[in-house]
Structure 1
């Protein structure tokens, strides 16, 4: 759809960009989140409220990753042959993953805030049962915000350069659809799914930093304080890097599609930035395991334990190997002596 008859809206580069980026995210996201899921469900003996949020975050990432092969095929062929239902599911899981990730990262940030700023008063709040309740509420919220986007026809027809009819998935919606429906969805998900979590993340991190600077906490172990600072830094960098550019651009993209702001330079800039920021947002599937490692002592201890176990096994096999070789050599020599004696 042309935004303005005087503006060029050429953005076909996005299909190559999406195809390459989504392929990389599929491989890295699948491997890293499967490993994370294995650690959460099998390797960890005890799960706390933080790992409960991380487990749900890994499940959210994997659900989205499993839809990527269909999207990759679509970006390569530029035709959606899988039907309207699968397009709806793919789009729903995309939004569920993005805003589910934002919410679960926010839960981790709030949990860390309660543990450090109010360590004693928050003991009754920071329980596995309450964490499970919060996770259910998060899933309900993100599905409530994501599913309405698939209520209408998600696939549309268009003609390619050769005049052949092709099917698109969640693209080329008319101006009326954006003005009456999609723009309202964008407003809802931006306020509830982005701005409120962003404020919570920044506020919680600021309060934690302020608490760590107090004289009472100066006597705390320097290593543990550095650890907390590293956690906050990694958490905020990943959150801001993955989600801030895309959600700001999404607002501008909505203004462009609803004809609220028509300017050729603006249209060109937004249509260029939107695919780039979307790819950055999708990459959160690969970055989430980094948050797992830096945020949870349980994860670090589990990985170190597995590593040390493998090291001990290797060393044991290496020490056993010479002993077995010597024993085998002695047995061979002994049998040869007996054979020699029997021939005399």
Structure 2
């Protein structure tokens, strides 16, 4: 990954429409995602805290989405002006902040699906595993590993950016990426997608085998299914196109398509609060300390009643 391609003034003008679209999309994601995730994180911390593994996972997902949104003002400025006066180091940090938190979102969405599956299918056996302490350890491990794995990528980008006469920043192309790396990245994301699909299918099968009961029981089932369906749809819509395009990266005209899919993937941070809403009952309500303690694990209790 030592070779890179710098962009000249001719290429700026030839991609002007894509730059305009990128400015608009990243601007909308910033204006919606930043306040929405900031409010979601505040509510999760204040109202739910770290009292359940579900809340711990969603706090980490909200934090990842918030950090991703915080990296977008620089992207909006760059695509709006096609200038980068902040230097190679600032650009490298902005790139890594975006990439790390896109990957974090994929992982945390998948872990949330696995956690919900265990709560539904193995409510008693998984109690010793599904604890707040274990969830905190898992989340810390994910943050540390993904950050460490991205450090070599950041070093490569920094060296490549410093070698360019024009500072291309987010348009920097790293050429001659080994096929093993591209296959590894695509395989990792496809594995996460398959985990979400399997969790969704298993949950639907399990719920169909259980008696319907009254209307409350049916509503509980719908709430449970919704969280899995939302997670899977997020992966298919926002991450699957990006994943498949990784394999074609470096080929003619494919790089611009990949950047378009990366832009699409960023929209995910605006919709992740749907996961919090469907997973934690009374997410947006504050009705006293007793209910605050109760709602943290309300979905798990509903699943155990099914």
Q: TM-score range by the shorter chain?
A: 0.7 to 0.9
TM-score by length of 2: 0.81
Of residues 208, 220, 224, the one that matches 2:220 is 224
Instruction: Provide the C-alpha distance between the structure 2 equivalents of 1:157 and 1:15, rounded to a whole number of angstroms.
Output: 23
Q: Post-superposition, which runs of at least 4 consecutive aligned residues in structure 1 deviate over 6 A?
A: none
Instruction: Provide the C-alpha distance between the structure 2 equivalents of 1:196 and 1:133, rounded to a whole number of angstroms.
Output: 22
Render the CA deviation track for 1:56-95: whole Å, top value 9, x for unaligned: 1111111122221111111122122111111111111111
Of residues 149, 155, 165, the one that matches 2:153 is 149
Q: Does structure 2 retain, via aligned residues, the 8 Å contact 1:249–1:274?
A: yes
The answer to whether the aligner puts 1:109 opposite 2:90 as a matched pair is no
Q: Does structure 2 retain, via aligned residues, the 8 Å contact 1:145–1:188?
A: no
Q: Does structure 2 retain, via aligned residues, the 8 Å contact 1:53–1:104?
A: yes
What residue is the counterpart of 1:19 in the other structure? 23
Which consecutive residues of structure 2, in runs of 5 or more, have no partner in the other structure?
7-12, 288-306
What residue is the counterpart of 2:242 in the other structure? 246
Q: Does structure 2 retain, via aligned residues, the 8 Å contact 1:155–1:171?
A: no
TM-score by length of 1: 0.73
Q: Does structure 2 retain, via aligned residues, the 8 Å contact 1:157–1:168?
A: no
What SS does the corresponding residue of 1:125 show, helix, strand or coil?
A: coil
The answer to whether the aligner puts 1:304 opposite 2:285 as a matched pair is yes
Quote how far apart the aligned CAs of 1:123 are: 0.9
Render the CA deviation track for 1:30-58: whole Å, top value 9, x for unaligned: 11011111101113366311111111111
Which consecutive residues of structure 1, in runs of 5 or more, have no partner in the other structure?
3-8, 159-164, 257-266, 307-344
Instruction: Provide the C-alpha distance between the structure 2 equivalents of 1:186 and 1:13, rounded to a whole number of angstroms.
Output: 28
What residue is the counterpart of 2:208 in the other structure? 213
Bigger relative CO (Cα 8 Å, ≥ 6 apart): 2
What SS does the corresponding residue of 1:23 show, helix, strand or coil?
A: helix
Instruction: Provide the C-alpha distance between the structure 1 equivalents of 2:24 and 2:16, rounded to a whole number of angstroms.
Output: 14
Question: Where do 1:242-281 residues align within 5 Å?
Answer: 242-254=238-250, 256=251, 267-268=252-253, 270-271=254-255, 273-281=257-265
Of residues 35, 50, 57, the one that matches 1:53 is 57
The answer to whether the aligner puts 1:294 opposite 2:289 as a matched pair is no
Render the CA deviation track for 1:257-279: whole Å, top value 9, x for unaligned: xxxxxxxxxx34x3553233222
Query: Aligned pair count?
Result: 274
Instruction: Provide the C-alpha distance between the structure 2 equivalents of 1:33 and 1:305, rounded to a whole number of angstroms.
Output: 18
Q: Does structure 1 retain, via aligned residues, the 8 Å contact 2:68–2:101?
A: yes
What SS does the corresponding residue of 2:285 show, helix, strand or coil?
A: helix
Q: Does structure 1 retain, via aligned residues, the 8 Å contact 2:110–2:231?
A: no
The answer to whether the aligner puts 1:83 opposite 2:87 as a matched pair is yes
The answer to whether the aligner puts 1:178 opposite 2:184 as a matched pair is no
Instruction: Provide the C-alpha distance between the structure 2 equivalents of 1:46 and 1:96, rounded to a whole number of angstroms.
Output: 23
What residue is the counterpart of 1:327 in the other structure? none
Instruction: Provide the C-alpha distance between the structure 2 equivalents of 1:127 and 1:78, rounded to a whole number of angstroms.
Output: 48
Instruction: Provide the C-alpha distance between the structure 2 equivalents of 1:71 and 1:185, rounded to a whole number of angstroms.
Output: 26
Q: Does structure 2 retain, via aligned residues, the 8 Å contact 1:110–1:204?
A: yes
Q: Does structure 1 retain, via aligned residues, the 8 Å contact 2:115–2:130?
A: yes
What residue is the counterpart of 1:199 in the other structure? 194
What residue is the counterpart of 1:169 in the other structure? 169
Quote how far apart the aligned CAs of 1:304 are: 3.3
Q: Does structure 2 retain, via aligned residues, the 8 Å contact 1:30–1:62?
A: yes
Q: Which structure has the larger Rg over C-alpha atoms?
A: 1
